[in-house]
Structure 1
Amino acid sequence: MEFDKKIYEGIFIERPNRFNAKVLLNGEELTVHVPNTGRCREILKEGTKIFLREELNPTRKTKYDLIAAMKGDMLINIDSQIPNKVVNEALLNRKIDTLHKYSKINREKTYGKSRFDFKLSTEDEKENYFLEVKGVTLEDNGHCMFPDAPTERGARHILELIEAKKEGYGAGILFLVQLDNVETFSPNDERDPEFGRALRLARENGVDIMVYNCKVDKNMIEINKKIDIIL
């Protein structure tokens, strides 16, 4: 998908809280919104080149969103709203092998106490599939991990997927790595052991676990290819 808003290059200064950052844009220090409540400490470091998306909504307190940053020579998209849009585009274009047969795509559907990102159905609606999407930005020497901070909600979603699978639905979780040039993925057991345990339990119960990296540019992002999962 290509971004339909103007993108500007700046320099990261600091992140005083989860929602905002201070950046330098054309020599001026500005406060911008960070559309990712994760820590992103390995990415957002003082002096890092970052990319801002212009937002022209007059009711906003900030004019820009910080959507991407350089880590060495890698460009990482950190916008937490992007993964669902990228996966939706991939589903429409039949780019996800496991899910080819599902032609009907519905967003934000509830099962149990969880609201999953997608409910997919075959044309005759005899087969239904719940899909949860997680954006991944944490990378170390070509290996990526999720989450970068504890997420009780994430583990709960996985357990609900297991229940959906037991009741006869298709169920899967797709980790979308928001960068290229990574080869492997694993749950981040050090930062959230409960999530890792839930993910391994999901695999044992037949829940699909998929990991794709992305082609990323300052003006676009799209799903690329599967990478290996280490559980």
Structure 2
Amino acid sequence: MKFSPPLVRGTLVKRYKRFLADVTLEDGSIVTAHCPNTGAMTGCAEPGYTVYLSESDNPKRKLKYTWELAKTFDDHFIGINTHNANKLVAEALDNKVLDEFSHIDTWKAEVTPPTANSRFDFALTHQDTTEYMEVKSVTLRDTDKGYFPDAVTQRGAKHCLELARLAQSGIKTSLLFCVQHTAITSVHIAKHIDPNYAQSVKTAADAGVAILAARCTIDEQKLILNQSLPVFL
């Protein structure tokens, strides 16, 4: 996923009201950007971070800029825009860069299985078989460990239990953690933040849901999901 036109560089002043971030651009002006991330963003929104914004020419938008990337004080990139996670997975599926899904022939986004009560991010088809995948974006970091979730997520727990129910009925399912932080080398379930979600992931794994993780290569020009990582429950 390449950024076109090129991103605008600045320095983070503050993130506030969840969806807003003030940024000082290189010309000294301060702009307010949309923050497309509803999570706690722990460690991702420190004042003084170098940040990168996409710029829209849509006159109907209230905010011209969207916050896409951050660069930590120890020079690691973070993908801020959680909406990019599904785009990155779709690109990886098309390019067959993840071994776990290299067998997939076609995919559809945002699909509700006939027997399910939840819509999942992807329906994946191989020959006459359809499997389902849910994607979660990971940016919470402690040293080189990534954690999900960064806040309590009842919706995430519900998705895990729905995946488990499908798996028990014989349908192949997977939960894929899309890691948008270049410092992270493994993914862990954040029991200390949301024990209910942790239990739901364990229930899903015990039912046969594949629990997977993959990390992005990130720089100011592009995001590419291309490296599988271990997951620890």
TM-score grouping bracket, smaller chain normalisation: over 0.9
Rounded to whole Å, the distance in 1 between the matches of 2:66 and 2:81 is 9
8 Å contact from structure 1 (residues 5, 55) kept in 2: no
SS in 2 for 1:219: coil
**In the alignment, is residue 59 of structure 1 matched against residue 60 of structure 2?**
yes
Q: 1:47, CA displacement in angstroms?
A: 1.4
Rounded to whole Å, the distance in 1 between the matches of 2:99 and 2:42 is 33
> Deviating runs (4+, > 4 A) in structure 1?
none
Aligned ranges 1:30-41 → 2 under 5 Å: 30-41=31-42
Residues 186-205 of structure 1: CA deviation (Å, up to 9, x unaligned): 11111111111111111111
Instruction: Tell me which of 179, 189, 208 is aligned to 1:187.
Output: 189
Q: 1:56, CA displacement in angstroms?
A: 1.4
Q: Give the aligned partner of residue 50 of structure 2.
A: 49
Q: 1:180, CA displacement in angstroms?
A: 2.2
Tell me, which stretches of 5 or more residues in structure 1 are unaligned?
A: none
Q: 1:183, CA displacement in angstroms?
A: 1.9
Q: Give the aligned partner of residue 9 of structure 1.
A: 9
User: Which amino acid in structure 2 is aligned with residue 46 of structure 1?
Assistant: P
Rounded to whole Å, the distance in 2 between the matches of 1:102 and 1:29 is 46
Rounded to whole Å, the distance in 1 between the matches of 2:133 and 2:60 is 34
Alpha-carbon RMSD across the aligned residues, in angstroms, is 1.2
**In the alignment, is residue 153 of structure 1 matched against residue 141 of structure 2?**
no
Aligned ranges 1:1-231 → 2 under 5 Å: 1-25=1-25, 26-71=27-72, 72-111=74-113, 112-123=116-127, 125=128, 127-231=129-233
SS in 2 for 1:114: coil
Residues 9-45 of structure 1: CA deviation (Å, up to 9, x unaligned): 1111112201111111121111110011112131111
8 Å contact from structure 2 (residues 42, 140) kept in 1: no
TM-score by length of 1: 0.95
Residues 63-83 of structure 1: CA deviation (Å, up to 9, x unaligned): 100111111210111111111
User: Which amino acid in structure 1 is aligned with residue 140 of structure 2?
Assistant: L
User: Which amino acid in structure 2 is aligned with residue 201 of structure 1?
Assistant: T
User: Which amino acid in structure 1 is aligned with residue 117 of structure 2?
Assistant: K
Residues 137-166 of structure 1: CA deviation (Å, up to 9, x unaligned): 111111000111111101100110011112
TM-score by length of 2: 0.95
Rounded to whole Å, the distance in 2 between the matches of 1:224 and 1:100 is 12
User: Which amino acid in structure 2 is aligned with residue 73 of structure 1?
Assistant: D
Q: 1:226, CA displacement in angstroms?
A: 1.4
Aligned length: 229
Rounded to whole Å, the distance in 2 between the matches of 1:171 and 1:108 is 14
8 Å contact from structure 1 (residues 180, 215) kept in 2: yes
Q: 1:101, CA displacement in angstroms?
A: 2.0
SS in 2 for 1:15: strand
Rounded to whole Å, the distance in 2 between the matches of 1:41 and 1:170 is 33
8 Å contact from structure 1 (residues 134, 175) kept in 2: yes
Tell me, which stretches of 5 or more residues in structure 2 are unaligned?
A: none
SS in 2 for 1:95: coil
Q: 1:224, CA displacement in angstroms?
A: 2.3
Rounded to whole Å, the distance in 2 between the matches of 1:136 and 1:107 is 20
Identity of aligned residues (%): 34
